[in-house]
Structure formats: structure tokens, C-alpha cells
Structure 1
Amino acid sequence: MRKCTLPILPVLLAAAITGVFIPAEAAHAQSKPSTDPRDQEIELLKKEVKQLEQRVDTLEGLDQKVKVIDRKLEVQEGTQQRKALEMPIAKVGDEGFSLSSPNHDYNIGFGGIFQGDGRFFTSGSDKDVGSTFFLNRVRPIVTGSLAKYYNFNITPDFGQGKVVLQDTYLNITYFDFASLRAGKYKAPLDIERLQSDRDLEFSERSEIQNLVPNRDTGFDLHGGLLDGRVFYDAALMNGVPNNTASDTVDIDNNDGKDFVGRVFTTPFELSENEWLKGLGFGFAASYGDERGSTTSSYKTYGQSTWFSYTKGVTASGLRTRLEPQAYYYWRSFGLLGEYASDQHSLNRFVTVGKGGPSIRQINDTDSFSDDGYMVQGSYLLTGEDASYGWVKPTHPFDPRIGWWGGWELAARLSNLATDSRQFKLGFADPTVSAKTATEYALGLNWYLSSNTKWQFDYARTFFDAGAGVPGAVKDRPDESVFESQLQISF
């Protein structure tokens, strides 16, 4: 039987071709995208994760850049803060001009008070005093503090044609209840004298000033107690004649010193009762030996001399001053009053004998007492609150908008009576010096701004004795004076 066989070469070739294309087709079939929705969602999530990873990488790079920038800003801010801490603080306002260290331990302030006056007599006055324009006070003021607790004040005065050092002192203030002042300043005695010159309701102080000291030099322990409701002063000072110009009392001419003490209280200052809040009262006194000092002369509102001692009279020893004082302020109403007593010893040399060897001089010494009082009332017509301090107008003067500043009426009565024994014993001459002086004064004050005030005053003073001839003593002619003062203060 004949066998049938297939050619071997064609078979092998067909097998090879089949082996190559069939797997490739199978692989090609496997690489086709899946039509399963879950697989497609997975692929999308993978892409989103990859994009998020890229964003995270980008943000990390930005974060590093931001940190570098923040660090640079911190360095710059630190530098600026250090510079700011080293820069002084400047202030300008109605209280003046000041420079201060950032912690306020060191500061200096610049202020001043400038007063231009016009004084016109309508009757009376001394022959040496006449109607005139003049600069009453011209005082640049420098204040400040060193190391927080050491405060100073330097106040020269160029007014009235003189140059004097009005105030200069150092105040050590570690404690509110006890501070120490040393230098030249107002003696802590008289309530009207202690009121700031810028705050006076009249351009001149009352007759009481003839019985109290002006400036003096020494030490003063002072402070406030009971939350500032009680104030005290205990001063040891050179001792000066009454109302003496400050340019003549810088150096004492005797070993004796004056003790000056004052207590003043405002007991209802913290009360809710507005009727009582503005009440204050106190007592002051001085005691000292002023042997050899010059004597005082007493002056009127117009600064004419109405009392002086006879030639050769000097202070001979102890001097005691007593002064109860008070004020009361309620809304627009103000009241200020005081009583003053000055007990002093005087000395004069008297020539006795009828002639030849019998003529000799004897030392005549005696003690006398001069007394006085003052009452002063005021009312602010424009409704501002009255105060012992400065009055600031509610509506400063500005005619463009119909503001006319603050207006105040003031009235004052003051009296001073000298010891009549001084005339009987020859220490004073009744034909030259009056025995008493009584002053009536009316004032109208215009507060144009916080720093500007214009005052219009009229004062009339009546006298007992002070003129005529021995044996026919007459009253000194009444003095009437109109005075206007324009003031700038800061």
C-alpha cells in the first residue's frame, strides 16, 4: 500500500508563521483599554494623585521661599523696632513742646508765659508811677526730668526792663507722699501767690501780697496723702521781706532761717456730690529770724507805694506769718479767700539829748502786727467749669464759625491794716504812709483759646491817712486804675 506523506518544509514554515502572529495578536488583544468602568475610575484617581503630588512639591518649594522672606522681614522689623526704641518722642500741644525718651525716664519741655500790659491811672498814683504800656512777664520756661525721678525747672524773666532768674529748682520724686524740692521757688505759704501767674483772674494780685513772701531759696519736703486729698509742705528757707522782688533775695544776709509749713486739703474731691467736690481749705505759717533784713514797702494794684517805714528802720528779729485759706469751685462759679497776719520785730536808732555831750543814739526795738484779708469771686458766662487752675474755653474764638471764646466776670475785695503803734512810736510817718488800704476790683476775662487770654480790670483803692503835714494828717487820694493784659502761655 502506498503511504501518503506531507512535504516537511511547507509544514514547518506554516507552523512558524502561526506561532509568531497568533501570540502577537493575543498580546495585542490584551493591551486594548479595559471597558470596565471601575478600571477607568482607578486610572483617573491615579492621575489626580499624581497631579496632587506635583502641587505638593510646588507648595513645599513656595513654603521654603515664604520662610526665607519671613525671616528677612523679622530681621527688618527687629531693626526698625530697635531704632524706634532709640528715637525720642516729640509732642506739641497747648501744654507746650516736649521731647521724651521712649520709656519717659528722660524728657525736656519748653513753655513760656508772655504778658503785655497797659496801665492807665484815672486818679491817684505816685509821682514816679504813671500810665504806661509795659511787658509785665516775659518768661521762657524749661522743665524736664532725669532718670525719671529728678525733675527740674529753669525760669528766667525778662519783663519790666529787668533780667532775673525767677525760678530754678530740682525736685526729687521717688514717692508721691514725700518729694524733696531744692532751689529757688515760691514760698509755700499764700494760696493766691501759689496760683500760677497764667491762671490769675486779675492781672495783679491783691493787697494780701504785701504781707507774704514771694520767691525764696531753700529746701521743701512736700507730698500728697489720702489719694491726693491732703497736701503738705515743710520748707526751710533763707527768709525774705514781704513781696520782695526776686532778683534781690538770692543770698541771705543773716544766719537765721525761716520755717514755712502748709497743709491744704480737698476732702470731697473723690465724692460724687458735685456741690462738695470743689471745696478746699488749709492753713499755712512761717516762723524765722530775719534780723538785719531790709523792711517791706506796700504797693497798690497800680504798683504805687502807699506804705513804707521811716529811714533807718530794719528788721530786728523774729517774724511770724499766719494764714488760713480756702477756695470753692462749683460749675462756672469760683470763690477764693484768705486772711493773713504778719507779726514782726523792728529796730530803729533814735537820737536823744538836747545838745553837746548829752546827744546820743539809742536802739529802739518793738514788735508789731499787720493784718489783711481777701475775698474773690468769679463766674464763667459761657458755661466752662471754674477752676483754681487754667480755664479752657469750650468754643475757642473763631468769628468765621460764630465762636467767641470763653468769658468770665470777676470781683475782688481786699484790705490791709498796718499796726497803728508803728505811727505812734515813729517807725512810720502818717503823712507819707497810709494806715490802711482797701481795694475794690472788677475784671472781665476773655479766653480766646487754650493759650490766649485778654484781661480788662478796674481797681479802686481807698486809704486812711498817708498825706498832709504833721499835725494835719489827711487821707491819701484814692487811686483808680484801669489795666488790660494780653497773655500768651503754653
Structure 2
Amino acid sequence: MTLRHAIAAVLLCGCGTNALAYDLLGDWPTKWKPAEGYEFGFKGLYQYDYNRFSGDTNNPTNGAELLPDANAWRRKEFNVYGKLPGGWDFNVGYDFTVSGFKTTPSGAGVHGKWIDNFIRYSNKEAGDFRIGQFKTPVGWEETISSSATTFLERALPVQAVNMDRRIGADWTYTGIPNWLLYLAWFKGGDLNGDNDGDGPAARVVWNPFNRQPGAGSREESNVLHLGLAWSTEDRDATTDGRGVVSNPAARFRARPEAGLTNRLVDTGNLAFPGTIKRLGLEAAYIHGPLLLQGEYLTVSADPRGKPSFEGDGYYVQCSWVLTGESRPYGKGAIGNVRPMHDYGAFEVAVRYSTVDLNDGPVYGGKEDDLTIGANWYLGQHFKLQANYIFANSTKRYGAPIDGDVDIDPRLFEMRAQIMF
């Protein structure tokens, strides 16, 4: 048994799975091809997180614990997919864990949610046409698979600005060399009964150069990604199962780059927000084991009877694969490192992110985080991550303070990930 086999077996057995039943080096037997042009299978992503806070962890108004330590499943995603002759494919996906986060011993509020559910038609000349529920384009880091993020959680401005998944239709075209074009219309909220609203979205990506040598080549990868994403949205009133109508509202907020805790910056609900506009600028450079990546994001709204609101933020990050591999890139997305060695691949990373949700009478707060990270890729299916975050936030609190307060926690977090 190789080192990678041994480590993977220990990890899987620790999660209650018989690791020795699988080929840990190659593809797991999760797909079936009954005839030419047909393929059916399932995919999974399981992530277990450990979060520990220090420093400022209490609510300044009442002393209650604001940032409790936690360890829980972050994701338990399961997808069934199929590919059919003629360019058709489909996906049905559900996350059995994450909708509320387990911050109490009883796990109150924890339930599942629908994720990617769509039907798609692909044509080399015309592009890809998709209808269903899927991720929205503004906030590039959010569109990258949750299994492939450099850090445990998305950066502050991405959390605050991105629309999450919505029901709609989109078109992706890569027929022009070095370009990716994307258009979408989102209508009707999401399959989980949230985010009622509609509007268009677009994205364009340009790769001035995109060299990715094949396996075994000594030539280094060399990729430049430049992108622009935009959307507008008009929120609708919602009616729950009891017939209670809630007025249109928008809310922009972010967790301190930890998934199992509360938020330090939050605008609260902005009633009758008018047209919400989002804009994102993307850039990344991959050269051998080096990855440089960043985004600038802005969001605006026009609440009825109140001054307009605008929030913005950015992040910049750098990673280096110590074992020499490159991060793969394709169709405007960055993937996980594919280890070349029996012991896997090691990556170190650093990120600075900031978001400002204060504007006029809206006191959503400001926060900036500095994160140091390390990743260990164990073959195709296993990944271990560790982050240490220096978070610094300022937000206005009500009585008895009635003023701005700094909350500056420190966070150590770890994740064990299994994917197939």
C-alpha cells in the first residue's frame, strides 16, 4: 500500500466509510455507460470543518457569545447526472446539510437545500444553452467549485455581493479563441423558496494567453484571465405558505470567512430596494506553481424614500504549490491541484480581503481580513485545508453603545474534504 493509499484509507475510515473498497488513485466507480453516447452517474462533495475563535468573540451590546467555536459538516452535496446523445445533459443536486449552520448543540435550523439542477444542450457552433437553477456570475470566486477554492471560504466582498444560485436560463459561448461569453436571465427566485426577483446577467472573459502543457511536459503553464461580470435585479414581494406577504427587500452581509459562525458586517433588510446593480472585475495569472488572483466588486440599490446605497470591496490572493504542480484552468474557472507525487501536493497561500457596507444612513459595517492558508491534496478525491484569519471589523451598534465598535477576532479553521 502506498503512502497515499494509507492516508486516504485512514481518512475515509474515520468518516465511517470502507476506504479499501475503492481505487484511491484513480476514478471511483460512480458512473455507468450503457451505450454509445449515454452516461449516468453521481457526484459527491463532503466537507467537515473545525472553527476555533480567539480575541473578540462577544456581542458588545449584551456580552452574549457572538462567534462560538464550532465543528460540523460544512457540505454534504450529492448530485445525479446524465449525458445523452445529441449534446444533451442534466444534473440534479441537493445539499443534505447546509442551509442553516450548526452553531448550537441541538443543531437547530440545520436543513438541506437544492443546489445545481438543470438541463443543458451543447453545440460546438452555437454554444451551451441551459435552463434550471445554477450559480450567478457576479463574484467569480463563488462560481468556482466549492471543492476547488484556495481557502476554506469565499472572500468578504464575494459573500456580500454574489446572488447565490437562481432559477433562470443562460448561454455560454467559447467558439471565439481566447474568449468566453455568457448571457443569462434569472426569474423566480430559487428552488428553496428564497430570493424572489428577476433580471439579466452577463460575463465576458479574455485570455490573452493560455498555455497549459499536458501531463509529463516540462514546460510551465502560463495563463492570464481577465473578466468582467454584470447583473441587475428587481426584487419581488414574497408570499409564504400561510399567505403572509413580505415586501421586496435586499440584504448584503458577510461572515468573517468562516462558514460555521455569525456575521460581523450586515446591512439588515433594505425595504423596497429598487433595481439592484452588481459589477465585478476579475483577474488571475497562473505561471507554473504560482497563482495570483483578485476581484473588485460593487453593489448598489435605491431604497424607496431613502438615499441610494452602494457597497464595494476587493480581495487579492497568492498561492504557491511547493511540490511544483500548476492549478488547472478551463472555461474561465480554476480547478484543484492534480498531484504528481505519491505523497500528494502541498500549497501555501495568503489573501487580503476587504468590504465596506456603510453608505449614508446604512451602517452595514466595514471589515478586512488577512488569511494565511495551507492545502494538502491527496490524489483526486481528498484534500486537507487549514487557515488562520486575522479579522478586523467596525460596525455601529445600538443601545447601550450607540456608536461604532471594533470587533477583531482571530480564527483557526481546518477542513477535511472528500469528493468524487
Is the TM value for this pair above 0.5? yes
1:314-357 alpha-carbon deviations (Å, 9 max, x no partner): 1431111111101111000001101001011224xxxxxxxxxx
Q: Which residue of the other structure, out of 378, 384, 390, is the alignment partner of 2:336?
A: 390
Contact 2:118 2:134 in 1 (8 A): yes
| Distance in structure 1 (CA, Å) of the matches to 2:321 and 2:221 | 19
Structure 1 position 339 matched with structure 2 position 278? no
| Distance in structure 2 (CA, Å) of the matches to 1:476 and 1:392 | 41
- Which has the larger Rg? 1
Query: Equivalent pairs: percent with the same residue?
Result: 25
| Distance in structure 2 (CA, Å) of the matches to 1:284 and 1:450 | 30
Deviation at 1:293, TM superposition (A): 3.1
Contact 2:307 2:360 in 1 (8 A): no
Aligned match of 1:70: none
Aligned match of 2:170: 220
Q: Which residue of the other structure, out of 2, 10, 33, is the alignment partner of 1:100?
A: 33
Deviation at 1:297, TM superposition (A): 3.2
| Distance in structure 2 (CA, Å) of the matches to 1:122 and 1:201 | 23
Aligned match of 2:223: 278
Distance 1:437 1:328, change over 3 A: same
Aligned match of 2:347: 408
Aligned match of 1:323: 280
Q: Which residue of the other structure, out of 96, 100, 114, is the alignment partner of 1:165?
A: 114
Distance 1:308 1:188, change over 3 A: closer
Q: Which residue of the other structure, out of 110, 126, 134, is the alignment partner of 1:185?
A: 134
Aligned match of 2:331: none
Aligned match of 2:149: 200
Contact 1:239 1:288 in 2 (8 A): no
1:7-43 alpha-carbon deviations (Å, 9 max, x no partner): xxxxxxxxxxxxxxxxxxxxxxxxxxxxxxxxxxxxx
1:39-66 alpha-carbon deviations (Å, 9 max, x no partner): xxxxxxxxxxxxxxxxxxxxxxxxxxxx
Structure 1 position 373 matched with structure 2 position 323? no
Contact 2:139 2:161 in 1 (8 A): no
Distance 1:109 1:275, change over 3 A: same
TM-score w.r.t. structure 1 length? 0.67
Q: Which amino acid aligns with 1:121?
A: F
Q: Which amino acid aligns with 1:331?
A: G
More helix by share: 1
Q: SS in structure 2 opposite 1:419?
A: strand
| Distance in structure 1 (CA, Å) of the matches to 2:142 and 2:125 | 23
Q: Which stretches in structure 1 are left out of the alignment for 5+ residues?
A: 1-91, 348-363, 398-404
Deviation at 1:189, TM superposition (A): 2.4
Contact 1:239 1:290 in 2 (8 A): no
Q: Which amino acid aligns with 1:346?
A: P
Q: Which amino acid aligns with 2:224?
A: L
| Distance in structure 2 (CA, Å) of the matches to 1:194 and 1:449 | 23
Deviation at 1:461, TM superposition (A): 1.2
Q: SS in structure 2 opposite 1:384?
A: coil
Aligned match of 2:17: none
Aligned match of 1:460: 390
More strand by share: 2
| Distance in structure 2 (CA, Å) of the matches to 1:271 and 1:146 | 29
Q: Which residue of the other structure, out of 140, 144, 148, is the alignment partner of 2:78?
A: 140
Q: Which runs of 4+ in 1 moved over 6 A?
A: none
Contact 1:289 1:319 in 2 (8 A): yes
Q: Which stretches in structure 2 are left out of the alignment for 5+ residues?
A: 1-24, 60-64, 99-109, 214-218, 237-247, 329-333
Contact 2:266 2:357 in 1 (8 A): no
Greater CA drift, 118-127 or 160-169 = 118-127
Q: Which amino acid aligns with 1:146?
A: L
Contact 1:295 1:314 in 2 (8 A): no
Deviation at 1:396, TM superposition (A): 3.0
Structure 1 position 295 matched with structure 2 position 256? no
Aligned match of 1:3: none
Aligned match of 2:263: 305
| Distance in structure 2 (CA, Å) of the matches to 1:128 and 1:176 | 53
Contact 1:96 1:111 in 2 (8 A): no
Q: SS in structure 2 opposite 1:247?
A: coil
Deviation at 1:408, TM superposition (A): 0.6
Deviation at 1:101, TM superposition (A): 3.6
Q: How does 1:34-183 map to 2 (within 5 A)?
A: 93-94=26-27, 97-103=30-36, 105-125=37-57, 127-160=65-98, 161-183=110-132
| Distance in structure 1 (CA, Å) of the matches to 2:154 and 2:200 | 24
Q: Which amino acid aligns with 1:418?
A: L
Deviation at 1:223, TM superposition (A): 1.6
Distance 1:461 1:263, change over 3 A: same
Distance 1:120 1:239, change over 3 A: farther
Deviation at 1:95, TM superposition (A): 6.7
Deviation at 1:221, TM superposition (A): 1.2
Contact 1:468 1:475 in 2 (8 A): no
1:186-243 alpha-carbon deviations (Å, 9 max, x no partner): 012221011111111111111022112111110001121224x211110000376xxx
Q: SS in structure 2 opposite 1:450?
A: coil
Distance 1:276 1:198, change over 3 A: closer
**How many equivalent residue pairs?**
356
Deviation at 1:417, TM superposition (A): 0.9
Contact 1:412 1:440 in 2 (8 A): yes
Distance 1:279 1:287, change over 3 A: same
1:156-200 alpha-carbon deviations (Å, 9 max, x no partner): 101243211111011111335422110001012221011111111
Contact 1:393 1:448 in 2 (8 A): yes
Contact 1:96 1:110 in 2 (8 A): no
Distance 1:133 1:419, change over 3 A: closer
Distance 1:176 1:132, change over 3 A: farther
| Distance in structure 2 (CA, Å) of the matches to 1:337 and 1:344 | 24
| Distance in structure 2 (CA, Å) of the matches to 1:213 and 1:144 | 27
Q: Which amino acid aligns with 1:169?
A: F
Greater relative CO, 1 or 2 (CA 8 Å, sep 6+) = 2
Contact 2:124 2:175 in 1 (8 A): no
TM-score w.r.t. structure 2 length? 0.78
1:232-255 alpha-carbon deviations (Å, 9 max, x no partner): 110000376xxxx97343x73x5x
Q: SS in structure 2 opposite 1:140?
A: strand
| Distance in structure 2 (CA, Å) of the matches to 1:301 and 1:271 | 31
